[in-house]
């Protein structure tokens, strides 16, 4: 099987209906969001801050990369879901750190804005899949360039520009449309639904985190 989730053109697994496929994507996303909510509610921020910075970042990237590798390479739904959880958990710690800095009203506004943008981009991704396929490479290049610029600004110039947050919002909004369109162009299996949900989860959470920062500056 292809290692890239969205390059899968055939399968030996049983295909399911479009309604069930999309329902599994939605349920998988909700499970991830519920876990993140529980982590924010029950894990004290002080406990996360007590972790050595290098240990935290190394653990974050190792966990995320291991999770992506699992759900990308496996055609077993259980293994893919485990990979998804390995991505959800470190993201939950980051979400906890971020939202603890802001008023709950700002966080709620960011959640509502994220839900609205996600819905709109999924609709557009369904209506214009060819367009979003066409911009996928451009979004990837734009994201890499933005990451480099942001790292230089933070570590060399010791500053951060709000425009970068807006650019990231646009990029991940585009990625939601791209990944939703891709999700509905591959074989509809349980495993592919979970893998697609994992990709969409990362798009949505990155969008949310940037919106929190933008709204927090109002």
Has residue 74 been placed in a domain?
A: yes
Banded model confidence at residue 2, pLDDT cuts 50, 70, 90: very low
Has residue 4 been placed in a domain?
A: no
Has residue 6 been placed in a domain?
A: no
Has residue 55 been placed in a domain?
A: yes
174-217: per-residue pLDDT in tens?
Answer: 999 999 999 999 999 999 999 999 999 999 999 999 999 999 98
Through-space distance between the first and last CA atoms of the chain, rounded to whole angstroms: 47
Contacts of 74 (CB under 8 A, 6+ apart): 80, 83, 191
73-112: per-residue pLDDT in tens?
Answer: 888 999 999 999 999 999 999 999 999 999 999 999 999 9
- Distances in Å between the Cα of 129 and the Cα atoms of 105, 193, 204 are 35, 17, 18
Has residue 33 been placed in a domain?
A: yes
> Domain range spanning residue 154?
12-216
Has residue 108 been placed in a domain?
A: yes
What total of structural domains would you count in the chain?
1
4-58: per-residue pLDDT in tens?
Answer: 666 666 677 789 999 999 999 999 999 999 999 999 999 999 999 999 999 999 9
Which conformational region is residue 158 in: left (phi greater than 0), alpha (psi within -120 to 50 degrees), or beta? left
Task: Please tell me the distance from the alpha carbon of residue 98 to that of residue 114, in angstroms, as a whole number.
Answer: 15
Has residue 103 been placed in a domain?
A: yes
């Amino acid at each position: 099987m292809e290692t890239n989730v969205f390059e899968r053109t055939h399968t030996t697994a049983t295909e399911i209906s479009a309604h069930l496929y999309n329902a599994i994507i939605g349920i998988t996303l909700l499970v991830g969001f519920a876990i993140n909510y529980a982590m924010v509610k029950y894990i004290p921020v002080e406990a996360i801050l007590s972790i050595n910075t290098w240990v935290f970042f190394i653990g974050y990237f190792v966990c995320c990369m291991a999770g992506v590798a699992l759900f990308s390479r496996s055609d077993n739904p259980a293994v893919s879901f485990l990979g998804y959880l390995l991505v959800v958990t470190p993201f939950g710690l980051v979400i906890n750190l971020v939202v603890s800095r802001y008023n709950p009203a700002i966080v709620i506004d960011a959640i509502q804005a994220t839900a609205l943008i996600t819905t709109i981009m999924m609709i557009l991704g369904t209506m214009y899949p060819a367009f979003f396929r066409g911009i996928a490479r451009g979004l990837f290049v734009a994201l890499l360039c933005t990451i480099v610029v942001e790292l230089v600004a933070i570590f060399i110039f010791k500053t951060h520009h709000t425009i970068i947050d807006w650019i990231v919002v646009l990029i991940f909004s585009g990625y939601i449309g791209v990944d939703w369109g891709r999700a509905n162009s591959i074989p509809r299996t349980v495993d592919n639904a979970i893998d697609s949900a994992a990709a969409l989860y990362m798009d949505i959470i990155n969008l949310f985190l940037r919106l929190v920062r933008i709204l927090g500056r109002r």
